[in-house]
Amino acid sequence: MIQPIEKKNVADEVFEKMLNMIIEGDWKKGEMIPSENELREAFSVSRSTVRQAVQRLSALGIVRSRQGKGTYVEQVDTSFYLNLLIPSLMLSGGDSISILEFTKSIQVECVRIVSQCASDEEIARLSDYLEQMRFAGDYESYFHFDMGYHSYLAQLTGNPLFIKAIEIVENLLHVYLRDIVAFHGSKRSMQQHEECFEALRARETERAVRIMVEHYDMLLQRMKDWLEPEKA
């Protein structure tokens, strides 16, 4: 049967048009966008509609209002596009597995790049995270330093997409991964982080990659086992 067409929210349309203008460079970084009155007249909508659209752009970090000076375009880089994914992700079990698989591919490449390009001093700083993980007082703290270890690996690549991806994973999978560590304990995870660090320090790229693959394969299996009761 033919279904009726849903009317689109006017504020959504204004948001999308403004977003496209920023992406296409009509409004550039550091440039002040038109005032609420100017936008209201240009789009032929109410002031509240314009305000809603601007607030959404502001919440995503795309624009920033300066008291008494107007609203300006912020930096729009490659990591910005990953920010747009966050509101659209619905975390069912299948989504969690997909996100973790995606993270595995990124972290494996991070290890490869860091092993080949990072300095000895940069790699040595991973030991700070290991120390914090060893003496974490609870699993919440352990998970925090664990994610710090992975975030630092991403930062060492200099790739903003890798860095943003790890940030997203921490936000979206925080509870799942923390509870998995609490259930299984941190012993094996800690051992894998230490072995990966030693391999990186020795510039044994393939061994470091293999250990990271094993680490994420373990996490994926534990995630699947953890989610299994939800399917029952």
Q: Is the pLDDT of residue 66 over 60?
A: yes
The pLDDT assigned to 223 comes to 86
The rounded distance, in Å, linking the Cα atoms of 70 and 64 is 9
Whether 4 is covered by a domain: the verdict is no
Q: Of 21, 42, 76, which one is at a domain's C-terminal end?
A: 76
Examine the domain organization and report whether 59 and 19 are in the same domain. yes
Query: Maximum distance among all alpha carbons in the chain?
Result: 65
pTM of the model: 0.65
Burial annotation 40-62 (CB, 10 A radius, 16+ → b, else e): beebebeeebbebbbebbeebeb
Within a domain: 1 = no
Please indicate, yes or no, whether residues 144 and 224 belong to a single structural domain of this protein: yes
Show the domain range for 19: 10-76
- Do residue 90 and residue 59 come from a single domain? no
pLDDT tens string 195-217 = 999 999 999 999 999 999 999 99
Task: Flag the least confident range among 50-54, 95-99, 216-220.
Answer: 95-99
Flag whether pLDDT at 81 surpasses 70: no
Query: Is 14 a residue whose pLDDT tops 50?
Result: yes
pLDDT of 195 reads 98
Question: Among 27, 44, 76, where does a domain finish?
Answer: 76
Please report whether residue 40 resides in a domain.
yes
* 96 and 37 within one domain: no
**For position 71, which CATH number holds?**
1.10.10.10
Return the CATH number at 123: 1.20.120.530
Q: How many domains does the chain divide into?
A: 2
Task: Tell me what percent of the residues of the chain surpass a pLDDT of 90.
Answer: 44
Identify the domain boundary among 53, 76, 99: 76
Residue 182 counted as domain residue: yes
Residue-level pLDDT at 203: 97
pLDDT, average across residues 156-165 = 89
Please indicate, yes or no, whether residues 69 and 98 belong to a single structural domain of this protein: no
Residues 94, 190 within the same domain: yes
**Does 96 share its domain with 29?**
no
Does position 128 have pLDDT exceeding 90, yes or no? yes
b or e along 165-177 (b: 16 or more beta carbons within 10 Å of the residue's beta carbon)? bbbbbbebbeebb
Query: According to the model, what pLDDT value does residue 182 have?
Result: 82
Cα separation, 98 vs 101, in Å, equals 5
pLDDT of residue 232: 44
Q: Are residues 60 and 112 in the same domain?
A: no
The reply to whether 102 and 145 lie within a common domain is yes
Same domain, 89 and 189: yes
Instruction: Specify which of 54-58, 62-66, 68-72, 107-111 reaches the highest per-range mean pLDDT.
Output: 107-111
Question: Do 53 and 134 fall within a single domain?
Answer: no
Residue 70 lies in a domain: yes
| pLDDT at position 229 over 70 | no
**pLDDT score, position 84:** 56
Predicted confidence (pLDDT) at residue 17 exceeds the cutoff of 50 = yes
Q: What is the per-residue pLDDT across 165-196, written as a single tens digit (0 to 9) for each?
A: 888 777 777 777 888 888 888 899 999 999 99
Judgement on whether residues 98 and 213 belong to the same structural domain of the protein: yes
